[in-house]
Amino acid sequence: MELTMYSNQSHHNQFLRAQKQVKRLKHFYRHVVLYIIMVIALLLVRYVLLPRMDWMLPDKGFQDWLYWNFVLFPVLWGVALAIHGLTVFRWGAVKKWEDRKIKELMDEEKNDQSQLWN
């Protein structure tokens, strides 16, 4: 009776961890899609809209500042996205190792207890 209850609890914990990981993956993929949309929008503004508005931006210093913002924004956001990806996928790898180690230790303990009775 106790073993099946422990097994059910273990499965429930695995389910909760898997559910949490799926939620992290969804957030990461949503972040990637938003990044792609924003980079495409920035490229369109930079190479389609701004050349047509050259007469509105006579200050060369402002044009340079704007250009660097169009470059740095996607680069810095890309770094943040990479860090987000590392935390999501690395966390999953750590959790898998933890699960394997827990199972290994539980199996060792089970074998030790069964040898006591032999």
pLDDT tens per residue across span 37-86? 999 999 998 888 877 777 677 777 877 888 888 899 999 999 999 999 98
Calpha distance 30→62 (Å, rounded): 33
Q: What is the pLDDT of residue 7?
A: 65
Q: What is the pLDDT of residue 3?
A: 47
Tokens coding 83: 């860090």
- What domain count does the chain have? 1
Task: Name the residue range of residue 94's domain.
Answer: 2-116
Calpha distance 7→30 (Å, rounded): 34
24, 84 contact by CB (below 8 A)? no
Least confident of 5-9, 19-23, 38-42: 5-9
pLDDT band for position 90 (cuts 50, 70, 90) = confident
Q: If you count them, how many residues does the chain have?
A: 118
- Could you give the 3-state DSSP secondary structure of residue 53? coil
